Amino acid sequence: MAKVDIRKLTDTELADFFIKYDEKTFRIRQINEWLWKKSATDFDVMSNLSVKLRELLSKNFSINNLVIDHSQVSADGTIKSAFRLYDGNFVEGVLIPSGSRLTACISSQVGCSLSCKFCATGYLERKRNLDAAEIYDQVVLINKQAQHTFGKSLTNIVYMGMGEPLLNYNNVMKSIYLITSEEGLHMSSGRITLSTAGIAKMIVKLGEDSVKFNLALSLHAADDAKRNKIMPINETNSLPILRDALRFYCKSTNNPVTFEYILFNKFNDSMEDAKKLVRFTRHFPGKVNIIEYNAISAAGFTKANPYATDAFRDYLEKNGVNARVRRSRGKDIDAACGQLANKL
């Protein structure tokens, strides 16, 4: 039988195991330090545990850590990595250098179930959720890349890779706890952004849980008819429903919201589209990130021309919306927004 990944056990379950084998339960704290703060992938390195205990752990448990199968480096310095999971599945993550920032873009699911028409991941089958340790491992490995390549650690983490984070809520929340905890990587929650396609009831739950990290909504159209065409999730999470959920979230957390808006040529880049976007976003603290579209072969969209992009941004700013155009990085290695598709 396959061994249980020790990182999936609660402290109570570990305590029961230790009592069964007449081991001291204070060892749990030492083991957790090795697993999370030191990111150990082998029981043999846990040098403050007895050889007998290490052998007992190795006999009964595994550590199903991710490994980097291969990486690609973009001309702009972006690094995309394919992470191999213990069951043979793959997810991708990206290290994005930009000015003084080093950002890890990480995945939360193997594939995706939302089928957004402009996103390469949306054309993949959703095979399963990642567990908290698998999400955590991506940050650990990308941070090592940052230290090796750029001589410094990550500054930011974005849950914007493969999958919909709010459809893997418990594992994502646990991973953020481990990343921010003193017992883990001890990174600031203010440096973490979770991006969602818009699962209204889970946005409400974020508010109920009073989360401290940042929220980004992949909006891409402020018109239900248009949003339905490109994001099927909108059929059950319409703009009025999302508006109410965001109001609750903002009131509960006092956090701003980032609205992500990809501009598609002659689809959502008109002044009328800009007016609708102003009307939707003006009720919330935050900003709009205008994103240039990165073409994928499965979709028939093209990116808006530069003049339309500048006019769109200028209209937002003139009407009191904090807006900026975000340039994509890593396009030459299919690492940019919407391009992750496990091209091995």
Distance in angstroms (rounded) separating the CA atoms of residues 79 and 334: 10
Nearest to 217 by CA among 175, 174, 246: 246
pLDDT of residue 338: 58
Average pLDDT over residues 157-170: 96
Cβ atoms of 308 and 263 within 8 Å: the answer is yes
Calculate mean pLDDT across residues 222-248: 97
40's CB contacts (< 8 A; 6+ apart) are 34, 46, 63
Domain with CATH 1.10.150.530 in the chain: 4-62
Q: Which of 23, 92, 164, 260 is catalytic?
A: 92
Please enumerate in sequence order all residues whose Cβ is within 8 A of that of 151, keeping only pairs 6 or more positions apart, or say none.
Answer: none
> Does the annotation count 292 as an active-site position?
no
Residue pointed to by tokens 């009831």:
201
What is the third-level CATH fold of 4-62?
Answer: DNA polymerase; domain 1 (1.10.150)
Tokens of 69: 């199968």
Residue 314 CA to residue 327 CA, distance in Å, equals 16
**Arithmetic mean of pLDDT, 70-96:** 94
Q: Identify whether the C-beta of residue 95 lies closer than 8 Å to the C-beta of residue 138.
A: no
pLDDT tens digit string along 49-72?
A: 999 999 999 999 999 999 999 999
CA–CA gap between residue 105 and residue 19 (Å, rounded)? 40
- Could you report the per-residue pLDDT of 166-192, keeping only the tens digit for each? 999 999 999 999 999 999 999 999 999
User: What tens digit of pLDDT does each residue of 7-48 get?
Assistant: 999 999 999 999 999 999 999 999 999 999 999 999 999 999
Q: Please give the Cα distance from 163 to 159 (Å, whole number).
A: 9
Q: What pLDDT is stored for residue 219 in this prediction? A: 97
Angle subtended at Cα 324 by Cα 322 and Cα 325, rounded to the nearest 5 degrees: 155
SS3 at position 283: coil
Q: Which of 105, 116, 119, 337 is catalytic?
A: 337
pTM of the model as a whole: 0.94
Is pLDDT at 331 greater than 90 in this prediction?
A: no
Residue 335 is predicted with a pLDDT of 58
Residue 336 has pLDDT above 60, yes or no: no
Mean pLDDT value across residues 134-144? 98
Superfamily holding 67-333: Aldolase class I (3.20.20.70)
327 DSSP 8-state letter: P
> Annotated catalytic, 337?
yes
* DSSP H or E run through 132: helix 132-150
Which residues, listed in sequence order, are joined to residue 67 by a DSSP beta bridge?
84
φ and ψ at 152, to 5 degrees? -155, 165
Return mean pLDDT, the chain: 93
Q: What is the pLDDT of residues 270-297, one digit of tens each?
A: 999 999 999 999 889 999 999 988 877 7
Confidence band of 84 (pLDDT split at 50, 70, 90): very high
Residues of the chain with CATH 3.20.20.70: 67-333
* Interval 294-320 mean pLDDT: 89
Alpha helices in 185-230 (DSSP H): 200-208, 224-230
pLDDT at residue 334 tops 80? no
